[in-house]
Amino acid sequence: MKKKKTSRKVILLVGLTLILFLVIPLGRPVIFGLFLLIGLLLFTSIVFRNKKGPVEESLPILTKEKESHYAQLGMSNSEIELFRNTMNHAKQHIVKLQENMNGTAKLKAIDLRQNTVKASKALFKELTKDPTKLHSASHFLYTHLPNMVDLTNKYIEINNHELKNKQTYEKLEESAQIIDQVAALIAQDYQKFVEDDLEELDVELTVAKQSLKRDNGL
């Protein structure tokens, strides 16, 4: 930010110098110089505004339905805020991940093999059902998902190089292997998260089988 402000000051100083040494000696009216200065200010404002990175998506409005859901789970205001902020970051990461995984044939193949985006979305959906299990998805939310976005960002950046040599292709292949491994971890994150549901289903199936045996006199 400091560097950006410094660059803007330099541009303005150069502009003022041109106005002083070119406009006034040529007999131009002072108002002409003022118009030039205003134009320069507008130009620098547009340029530096366009250089800003993507604006982080703000939190959606908390609906009464969601607020009631959190209250029924016994969540405090600080827990609700933490959950909503965490999920907002996760949503942005998943959107970017989906974009990246569709960016090249290699990444698309990894996504099809590991179901990376699908597993990420599914885990996100499960978390929205039970926010109290946020800690159970900590590896996914704070390590695997952001790492995956960073890795695929860098992969696409290198893959888009106009000229590639042997070292470039080797690095791309190495990156693809690491991405594939992290993608597998994300799939594991989802499986671990729903393990409790599978165990509960096993119990219910066992009870149902026993009930059927009694009813059938077996």
Question: What residue numbers bound the domain in which 135 lies?
Answer: 75-205
| Model confidence pLDDT, tens digit, residues 44-94 | 554 444 444 344 567 888 888 888 999 999 999 999 999 999 999 999 999
| 10/94 same-domain check | no
Is 31 contained in some domain? Answer: yes
| 128/162 same-domain check | yes
Alpha carbon distance 24, 182 (integer Å): 64
**Token pair recorded at residue 69:** 């859901």
**Token pair recorded at residue 125:** 């959906």
Is 126 contained in some domain? Answer: yes
Residue 128 phi/psi, 5-degree rounding, is: -65, -25
Is 93 contained in some domain? Answer: yes
| 114/201 same-domain check | yes
| 81/170 same-domain check | yes
Note if the pTM is more than 0.85: no
Using the predicted structure, report yes or no on whether residue 43 has a pLDDT greater than 80: no
Give the C-alpha distances (Å, rounded to integers) separating 5 from 8, 9, 49.
Answer: 5, 6, 12
| 44/151 same-domain check | no
| 81/32 same-domain check | no
| Model confidence pLDDT, tens digit, residues 126-175 | 999 999 999 999 999 999 999 999 999 999 999 999 999 999 999 999 99
pLDDT of residue 185: 97
Segment holding 163, helix H or strand E: none
Residues in Cβ contact with 140 at an 8 Å cutoff, skipping those fewer than 6 apart: 120, 123, 186, 189, 190, 193
Is 184 contained in some domain? Answer: yes
| 168/84 same-domain check | yes
Is 64 contained in some domain? Answer: no
| 38/82 same-domain check | no
**Token pair recorded at residue 22:** 């070119």
Gyration radius from the chain CA atoms? 28
Is 63 contained in some domain? Answer: no
Determine the residue type at 168. Answer: T
Domains identified in the chain, total number: 2
Is 138 contained in some domain? Answer: yes
| 185/136 same-domain check | yes
Is 160 contained in some domain? Answer: yes
| 106/168 same-domain check | yes
